[in-house]
A and B are shown apart, each in its own frame.
Chain A
């Protein structure tokens, strides 16, 4: 097991080395990705110019929610986000070269396509979250500290599972295009705002069906000590981590099934 980790670490290092070979393009990417977090923050703040509250939450509270969502997404995007390149591996048959090495397919793909410039996005998201935690009116208790630490990772597992499940589509449907992004990037945007601003089937599907309420909405309720205006019992907020694990397992099973459907195009 340890030896296998060494192999993954070597693959990762090789990827970072070859990316930094193209130094100019690497720097450009790093700078351009700096804009992302700023855009997210602005899009939240702009709304508060026209309304004093969103779904019953004030600016500081929504800012905190956005911070949690952004950090969760940025962690997932940095570590697992590049799995979306699976599509090109399946289309070109390059996955063959991955399959003939004595290592797991998913960890190999994550290592050989690791994109270090996404670290910039994560750093900015962490900054937003830190500001959010500072400006929100939080009465700190041990359980709230625990929630503040757990929530970003719970969110990261949710988004990671979604990235993997979305990429798996390529095993069945090579021209799947950007369909999966509707759920990953769409999910990220969904979690920037309180669940209470959405309604109907849209809320039911994203918040409860896909579990996005666990990413930022429930954790913020716990941190602020507020009951859910939609009437969910308080303990539900703590189900986030175990639910995230279940979702990850489901995504893993989907991945294994998908791999068996790999057709290895061409000769």
Chain B
């Protein structure tokens, strides 16, 4: 298919590690960081690639970007094999590592961008147009002339995002781009990625531990655990599959012993001396719960709580 940007089949990466047995003797072990991942990503998709620490997220990304050589399996990105065609592929993808800089430490941000223009051979007008776009969306103007080593993490990350986009990549890989950022910078990065995804021509693969990133940005989630894909689908699928439900919290005027039963729901908790009841919705809708309780005549307040991705992911990570 022409619009498949990333295709991985049975992708595998093994590392040999030495474990000390005694002071002088070591034992060699083979550990599969990625143990057979199948993944296809279409043009314009925004994919959240999530999983606990050590699940193989970064290793997968490094195989997709030509940094690591796969032990087994096939992988193509933009129709190219990442390691053998690394240089050609590098011109068509952008990569941001949250924990590693692609900028020049001692040079002002502006000069790093100018260097990257030559590295990627971008025509000056094209470069200027893209830089102007990033300056506006990421609010770079205040620190363009500051050496990178003096930038705050939030400012640096905005610089890294710009650096990865100046050559107009078709695919952009982001490895924990919001790690360690303050709330304002996180929001700036998220808004920027949402805008980029909204344009629809750039494919984005994002790894993150930040659940707000996922809820805000990712329509499709691939969850990886111990080197294997354990879920591939939407956030809603994930909720459905792992049993997280919307909840309705009602406050009553008078305490009802054990809480009034509502068909199609289960009572999760009764607090505030029996006056606050939390219903988990199964088949019933929030409206049906409210209608039922309103008939009792003692309803004071109602709120609907969306399912918490944090719970889902925590459950997912511990279930394996």
Interface residues of A (CB under 8 A from B): 3, 6-7, 10-11, 14, 17-18, 21, 93-97, 99-104, 260-264, 266-267
Contacts and interface: CB of A to CB of B under 8 A. Distances in A.
Given A96-B67, A100-B66, A267-B99, 4 more contacts: A7-B118, A97-B97, A99-B66, A102-B87
A267 B15 CA distance: 14
A97 B119 CA distance: 13
Interface string B82-95: 01001110110101
B101 A264 contact: no
Given A17-B107, A262-B67, A264-B67, A96 B90 contact: no
B83 A11 contact: no
A149 to B, nearest CB: 34
B87 A103 contact: yes
Interface of B: 15, 53, 57-58, 62, 65-69, 83, 86-88, 90-91, 93, 95, 97, 99-102, 104-107, 111, 115, 118-121, 175-176
B132 to A, nearest CB: 22
Nearest to B65: A100
A264 B64 CA distance: 13
15 contacts: A7-B119, A14-B104, A14-B107, A14-B111, A93-B100, A96-B97, A97-B97, A99-B65, A99-B66, A101-B119, A101-B120, A102-B91, A102-B120, A103-B119, A262-B68
B163 to A, nearest CB: 10
Given A10-B115, A14-B104, A267-B175, A100 B121 contact: no
A260 B111 contact: no
Contacts, number: 74
Contacts of A103: 87, 119
Nearest to B33: A263
B119 A99 contact: no
A11 B107 contact: no
A102 B90 contact: yes
Contacts of A6: 118
Which residue of B57, B95, B119 has the most chain A CB atoms within 10 A of its CB atom? B119
Nearest to B53: A267
A102 to B, nearest CB: 4
Which residue of A11, A14, A17 has the most chain B CB atoms within 10 A of its CB atom? A14
> Which 4 pairs from chain A and chain B are nearest by CB?
A18-B106, A102-B90, A10-B118, A100-B95
A261 B14 CA distance: 11
Contact of A263 (B15, B66, B93, B99): B15
A132 B175 CA distance: 57
B270 to A, nearest CB: 43
Given A10-B115, A18-B106, A267 B83 contact: no
A254 B155 CA distance: 40
